[in-house]
Structure 1
């Protein structure tokens, strides 16, 4: 049997006091990178997501819980227990996402732990920052942060994204902060506090849409599948379903025009003009696309070098990654999850433990 290679974070101890998604995702990423992660759960009930179902895996475990808890050892501890304090004092990294002030009540706050563990990297996720006691939920922050205002059909109701995207963004931002703090600790020998808020994460994730507000005074709204600054860049009707076109420059548009046999039109000569005349452009494209099914156009346009595709289900997206050789699925003792997208040539991601049962 081949030995599992040491990951880049091999030898580091992570105390994962977090629950639900953002914190557990960050801790799982550290585990994928080789750290020894100990997941601390409430005795009796455990992580909130253990009760979030259906759906459930064949063994009855919540599929939500399984999505972000591999590569962890599990332990059920009361926060007031000596064992919880001992773990926190020994850890290289502590991850938590309780309401502000909770960890302090149990003697597990950053300032309380730092004297005994000066190298500790103390990573926290809050909803709205440490000064705001309100709990943060992804759906709520999608609304308050503006994401829902730009998601959905024009004239229709605001719509949340179909996954807890704010939690995912926060978990990834927290991981980045932790890794930066680890690098700084190599130079200084000192740990530090790392903080990420859900509200800050969604605002950072709005990128060009937020920049439009800040730099041009343009408050974006709902555009369905259209892009505010690029055309053609949306879904178009064909003979049997929707085709996605993601044409990002004039050269790609010329290839699209030639492949579809469209005549030249000054209204569509540049991206700026195509955005200005996007309705006329959609009519011209769909008049041609209506003659054949999605699969036909994907074959023709891909051969022409035009970015395009069908609207896949999640299952079809996983199958596509498998066909492309990306090995997207990890199976650990029958508990399956999506593989880490991180590829490292010398210290690869490893998969060592299935999500732990509540002990």
Structure 2
């Protein structure tokens, strides 16, 4: 059977990460994606390295651009603007992240495009929205991690705010873009009209703060960094065993009874730890006792003992170990497309599978 988005054509004017990640996912689902890049320069990420693969391609670029066709256009030239107009006139979706007013500078603004193609889905991704003030702010993932509050709840303490180890803001925004585009396509199928879909990195990240955002909005609590601990569940963090760190994730009181039975039965008679709320309130005292016990055995011993009574626990893997784990579980986490390896799309369908048709466009071989 055909993949879910077979027959959908996407003109991709986005670059770097949020937009390209979204369009790659849509391409995996069968959409035809034409990636538009500047002649002789291309997407910024073509030069973001090291690391590079054996052929000299930036692995950053390779990570989000498979299954796309390449097209070079200099949008400062009238002839290439016309070529872009013709491409978009035949497309179902256009994706861009030029920033507020960016496409208009090249005579490719939404109003003009939708008048030429009334069923067009126009997805615009910005850093902070479209207000005059927002337009002056640079939309880089690191800045957004800081300005969104994400860094304030990441790290060991309030004095050392820490970014996440991947450009998570861009990834989250790209996923929201996919949701918005798919919903707009569904609405178009039902109602016969196109529309603009707008995303910004700040709003996407605030949404992704979920319980931490709700703590402030509904509870008046400003969350803070807790290292690997959890603000609402305990014990739910990493601990030092005799040889290395490992993770324990006790999610309810019933699990805690089993957990304490293995680790330290005396915890069950301590009134400070009988409920999850009390354990959170007395986390320092709880961790003092657990740290003393966990330091007596190696991590694999604790993991084996706790897993035997179905307590969520595990190692802290590096990226290689994580891929080895996925492979050992039969998940086939890596795909090879025309000699270029990338992470497999995580979505599986019983009847309309994703496709891996081509490596990123115009790569060196």
TM-score range, shorter chain: over 0.9
- Unaligned runs of 5+ residues in structure 1 are none
**1:232–1:246 CA contact under 8 A, matched in 2:** yes
Aligned to 2:98: 98
Q: What SS does the corresponding residue of 1:243 show, helix, strand or coil?
A: strand
Among 30, 40, 55, the alignment partner of 1:59 is: 55
Give the corresponding residue for 2:35: 39
TM-superposed CA distance for 1:23, in Å, is 0.2
Partner Cα separation in structure 1 for residue 249 and residue 37 of structure 2? 44
Tell me how far 1:27 sits from its aligned partner: 0.3
The residue aligned with 1:109 is 109
- Find the residue that maps to 2:84 and give its secondary structure: helix
Task: Give how far 1:42 is off.
Answer: 0.5
SS of the counterpart of 2:45? helix
Q: 1:43·1:78 contact (CA, 8 Å) conserved in 2?
A: yes
TM-score scaled to structure 1, two decimals?
Answer: 0.96
Equivalent residue number for residue 172 of structure 2: 169
The question of 1:329 aligning with 2:325 is answered: no
CA distance in 1, matches of 2:305, 2:196: 53
Check if 1:253 corresponds to 2:256. Answer: yes
Matched, 1:306 2:311: yes
Tell me the matched-pair count: 355
> What is the aligned counterpart of 1:226 among 225, 229, 232?
229
Residues 13, 94 of structure 2: 8 Å contact kept: yes
CA gap of 1:106–1:339, structure 2 versus 1, over 3 A, is: same
Aligned-pair distance for 1:120? 0.5
Give a deviation string over 1:56-78, Cα, whole Å, max 9, x none: 01100000001100111111112
Distance apart, 1:358 and its partner CA: 5.8
Task: Name whichever of 28-37 and 100-109 sits farther off.
Answer: 100-109
Moved over 6 A (4+): none
The aligned counterpart of 1:11 is 7
Report Cα offsets for 1:181-212 as digits up to 9, x if no partner.
01100111111100100000111011111111
Task: Show CA shifts across 1:81-118 (max 9, x none).
Answer: 12211111111011110121111121211111111101
CA distance in 2 between counterparts of 1:261 and 1:156 reads: 33
Could you tell me whether the CA contact under 8 Å between 1:46 and 1:358 is conserved in 2? no
Question: 1:317 Cα deviation (Å)?
Answer: 0.8
Q: Mean Cα displacement is larger for which, 62-71 or 102-111?
A: 102-111
Spell out the pairing of 1:165-314 with structure 2 (5 A cutoff). Answer: 165-263=168-266, 264=268, 265-314=270-319
Shift, 1:287, TM fit? 2.1
Which residues of structure 2 form unaligned runs of 5+? Answer: none
- Mapped to 1, the partners of 2:52 and 2:363 lie a distance apart of 16
Q: Deviations over 1:212-271 (max 9, x none)?
A: 111111111111111111000111110101111111111111111112242222211110
